[in-house]
């Protein structure tokens, strides 16, 4: 039996601790884009909840957005009350989430990260998000994702 990647094990423990009810799926290949994840899962690209970490005036900001919806950083920055919102560097992402780009989960970070969720995701009964590793995802609903993360709903575009 192959052992599970430590990042997935950490996510699994956090998911259970927070009462997550969805299925955790380990895919055979890396699904670091919403399109690849949707293809592997047989769902619409919009049902993929991308976990995008931004640098908001030097502090981490996590935005969960639909795979078919782009974040307008000016609109999102205004909604969050920060002067600028920039894509975070790989080092910034790893430092604040303990995970790598393409596998950032909405939960299980070393310290709490302010989290916001794109209202666009409400369109889907089931959404899929990364489970701490580029090849791991989990199923959930919009409402459960809000409960799991404590996310505030915002418009991102």
Specify the pLDDT at position 88: 95
Specify the pLDDT at position 34: 83
Mean pLDDT over each residue of the chain, to the nearest integer: 93
The residue count of the chain comes to 157
Task: Of 12-21, 25-34, 95-104, give the lowest mean pLDDT range.
Answer: 25-34
Q: How confident is the model over 18-75, as pLDDT tens digits? A: 999 999 999 877 666 788 889 989 999 999 999 999 999 999 999 999 999 999 999 9
Specify the pLDDT at position 27: 84
Specify the pLDDT at position 30: 65
∠133-97-111 over CA atoms, to 5°? 135
Specify the pLDDT at position 92: 97
Beta bridge partners of 128: 48, 139
**pTM of the prediction?**
0.93
CATH number of the 6-154 domain: 3.90.960.10
Q: Is 2 a residue whose pLDDT tops 70?
A: no
């Amino acid at each position: 039996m192959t052992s599970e990647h430590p990042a997935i094990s950490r996510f699994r423990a956090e998911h259970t601790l927070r009462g997550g009810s969805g299925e955790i799926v380990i895919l055979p290949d890396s699904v670091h884009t919403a399109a690849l994840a949707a293809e592997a899962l047989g769902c619409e690209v919009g049902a993929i909840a991308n976990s995008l970490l931004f640098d908001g005036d030097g502090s981490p900001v996590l935005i969960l957005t639909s795979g078919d919806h782009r974040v307008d950083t000016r609109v999102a920055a205004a909604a969050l009350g920060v002067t600028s919102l920039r894509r975070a560097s790989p080092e910034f992402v790893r430092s604040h989430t303990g995970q790598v780009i393409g596998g950032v989960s909405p939960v299980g970070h070393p310290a709490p990260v302010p989290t916001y969720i794109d209202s666009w995701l409400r369109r889907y009964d089931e959404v899929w998000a990364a489970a701490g590793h580029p090849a791991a995802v989990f199923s959930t609903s919009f409402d459960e994702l809000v409960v799991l993360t404590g996310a505030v709903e915002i418009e991102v575009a």
